[in-house]
Chains A and B, each alone.
Chain A
Amino acid sequence: MAISAPLLFELGAILVILTVLGSAARRFGLSPIPLYLLTGLFLGTGGVAPVPAATDFVATGASIGVVLLLLTLGLEFSIGEFSESLRRHLPSAGVDLVLNSIPGAIAGWLLGLDVVGIVAMAGITYISSSGVIARLLGDLDRLGNRETPAVLSVLVLEDFAMAAYLPVLTVLASGGTLVQAAVWTAVALGALGLAFLVSLRWGDHVGRALGHREDEQLLLRILGLTLIVAAVAEHLHASAAVGAFLVGLTLTGATADRARTVLTPLRDLFAAVFFVAIGLAVDPVDLLPMLPFALGLAAVTAVTKIISGAYAARREGAARRGQLRAGTALIARGEFSLVIIGLATASVGGTLGAVATPYVFILAIVGPVLARFAK
């Protein structure tokens, strides 16, 4: 086995840069994700320092990062939370969907993108970043506020909407027709229902089958199973991400808790690699002319998020200031939008990444800042 010194060095250097930037971001209470994107942007093609030896690892790591992000997301949620959120907040989720996906779709159309591009842009502007916002609410000590359940429920429903959306995108991106996309979305939704049923009825059995006293064995089992399911899902054009999400949903109880503990460090590493990979894929030269457009889109969709968030909070009974807090909290876009970029770029081309990456970057920074000011 030959150890490649350049690979180790470049990878190590990337991680060191990520933590230097990430720690600085945390000091100011900001999300490190934009800085991870920036790192990817400055390295790689057209950047300051290309990293030829590490590129393969970053590309592979990015796929694993997507799988782990969705797996841990599925582990976070339970059917109880989903049905409760659905029951109380469905209208808010509907308003959120309509108000926030339409600007993206229009933007895609204005840019001259094809159907895949328009669908991708709609998804990118629609989904707020659960990771950044949940963290933000904790940092800002807002978990006790009246508007918070509305914000969290909207995030849950958005994440589940992704389970229906991603197959559509994946099918379209691989050249399928809208009819095929509809079929596979129906399949994915069916699988979602099945995952819920299994977790409800046989959750204990699944937990016992997959569980193991040793963390090492638990890790290997769950990760192995998830990667296989994700591969099958991807092969069936239902999207690897949805497959991983379903595995996470199916696990409940003590096994899920332990799985979360064991997987979180891996997820942190590979998610960071994924964000770098997104940045790597974008050429700074393509990016600059797109900046004004990205800024405009960011401004429009920040406003639409404030409106839809305020509406959700109003339904919870919050007053004006609570509504504003809820609206600004939801502005941040992040990991899911980047996942969409990752999935769609191969089919749509560089324009998508050149517009959407700075868009996510802007909102991942501006979102928490505005939320902080809306005291």
Chain B
Amino acid sequence: MDVKETLLPGVGLRYEFSNSDGDRISVIADRKGDFEVFLCTTPADPDKARRLFRLTDREAEALAQILGAPRIVESYADLTKEIPGLDAGQVEVGDHSPYAGHPLGDAKARTRTGASIVAIVRDEQVLASPGPAEVLQAHDVLVVIGTADGIAAVRHLIDQG
């Protein structure tokens, strides 16, 4: 599924995609943080979009939780903007990772890199604040907070041990 991102100068970003029914759905993320959702259904006028509804930042968060999309990284990204030097990143546990099938504590990520793994995103589920006994699986996405170097080090660590 192809999500097309278009810039609307002075307004924000527009994301659009077609669903399996052939409806063209677009979401405008405006600069203030609100979202507007549009639907194009009129075949006679394929360029015209009907505005379905508007969501504030919090409402969008609620909807996203319901729909299962992990927005946790974005929330952290907002947090890290306030603190210079602090970054948020995602590290995927690949099939070949030496830590797939092993507990999180085995990686000793914080001791070795200084960065903290604050959540694991598995399929549509978010496991916040995982303990060292939590077993990592292949295709898990780890949410990492730390310096840019620390996050890169975690990536390297998870990838190669």
Contact = CB atoms under 8 A, between A and B. Distances in A.
Contacts, number: 73
Given A143-B36, A144-B38, A156 B45 contact: no
A318 B9 contact: no
A347 B93 CA distance: 70
Given A81-B10, A156-B9, A146 B36 contact: no
B28 interface: yes
B28 A143 contact: yes
Which of A80, A82, A145 has the most chain B CB within a 10 Å cutoff?
A145
A81 B9 contact: yes
A149 B7 contact: yes
Interface stretch (B47-55, B57-65, B121-129): B47-55
A148 B8 contact: yes
A322 B45 contact: yes
A319 to B, nearest CB: 6
Contacts of A130: 10
A85 interface: yes
B94 to A, nearest CB: 32
Which of A82, A148, A318 has the most chain B CB within a 10 Å cutoff?
A148
Interface in A118-168: 130, 134, 141-149, 152-153, 155-156
Interface in A317-365: 318-319, 321-322, 325
Contacts of B31: 257
A145 B47 contact: yes
B6 interface: yes
The main secondary structure of chain B at its interface with chain A is: strand
Contacts of B38: 143-144
Contact of B46 (A141, A146, A152): A146
A114 interface: no
Given A144-B36, A145-B49, A81 B26 contact: no
A80 B31 CA distance: 14
Interface string A54-78: 0000000000000000000000110
Interface in B30-47: 31, 36, 38, 40, 45-47
Contact of B9 (A84, A145, A325): A84
A152 to B, nearest CB: 5
B14 interface: yes
23 contacts: A76-B10, A81-B9, A82-B9, A85-B7, A130-B10, A141-B51, A143-B14, A144-B38, A145-B47, A145-B48, A146-B49, A149-B8, A149-B9, A152-B9, A153-B7, A155-B9, A319-B45, A319-B46, A319-B47, A321-B48, A322-B45, A322-B48, A325-B48
Interface of A: 76-77, 80-82, 84-85, 130, 134, 141-149, 152-153, 155-156, 257, 313, 318-319, 321-322, 325
Give 3 closest A-B pairs by Cβ, nearest first.
Answer: A144-B38, A144-B49, A322-B47
